[in-house]
Amino acid sequence: MRLALAAALVALLSSCATGRNPLAKWERSRNFNERQPMLIVLHYTTEESAEKSLHTLKTANSKGPVGVHYLLGRDGRIYQLVKDGKRAWHAGPGRWGTITDVNSASIGIEIDNSGHDPFPDVQIDSLIVLLRDLTTRLRIPPTQVIGHEDMAPTRKIDPGPLFPWKRLFDAGFGVWPDESAGDPPPGFDPWLAMQAFGYPLEDRAAAVRAFHHRFRGMDGTELDEHDLRILYALTRPPQPEPAPPAAEPAGLQPQQENIVE
């Protein structure tokens, strides 16, 4: 029993030392180089199965080689194709805030989904487990989880309007607007807010579509009043915590009124 436990511990430490994640089945891809992760980018595959996606992600294809760190099957299985410390070719041209080379700064996760189907619960549960591992082990801020279309709205629409961003937020990842923020103040500029949040604005209609997919689960390329409230909630300064009520002085009891019957 002790020998088996020791062997398991050695195997786990060995996998960590080589950059392989013990949560995932190792599927090596050659499509990577060195980089530093501080962002996680979510994609969907648009292919028929995880097996077909694995083939595409491990080999060259008609549009050039595409690499990604992880692939999530519909059944929740996690595959790792590129070590966490390597630069996979998943994001392409685009930017998020001041990050202009997203491949160098991110972990890429492909989710086995056509783009037209709901994401199974088991798949999202597995994604949450993987995000918890990555943000803890690689010290990536949990808020720094975005979609491919967020950083490349003129080219991409994944993970699309069906992706459950609110569920991810409830599990501690990504961001979601505070409904109690209220209306924006006079003079509020939604375009400055979108830019401050991270969206590139070279094509404003495309940026709004990506914003709608993420925060409203719908299409549309024009901002409305509800969008302004969302953007204000996402970008307003942190609010101070309310002060706790003053404690009653020790030994003093509240006075009671005299009751005459």
Type and span of the H or E element at 92: none
Q: Which of 51, 110, 179, 248 is catalytic?
A: 110
Within the chain, residue ranges assigned H as helices are 2-17, 50-58, 102-105, 121-137, 148-151, 165-170, 190-197, 204-215, 225-235
Rg (CA), the chain: 23
Burial (CB count <10 Å: 0-12, 13-18, 19+), residue 126: buried
For residue 185, say if its preceding peptide bond is cis, omega within 30 degrees of 0: no
Dihedral angle, C-alpha 82, 85, 86, 91, nearest 10 °: 80
Identify which of 41, 53, 67, 197 has the alpha carbon closest to the alpha carbon of residue 127.
41
Q: Between the CA of residue 90 and those of 66, 116, 156, 182, 249, what are the distances in Å?
A: 6, 21, 12, 37, 62
Q: Catalytic residue at 27?
A: no
Structure-token pair, residue 202: 């070279």
Burial (CB count <10 Å: 0-12, 13-18, 19+), residue 62: exposed
Residues marked as catalytic:
110
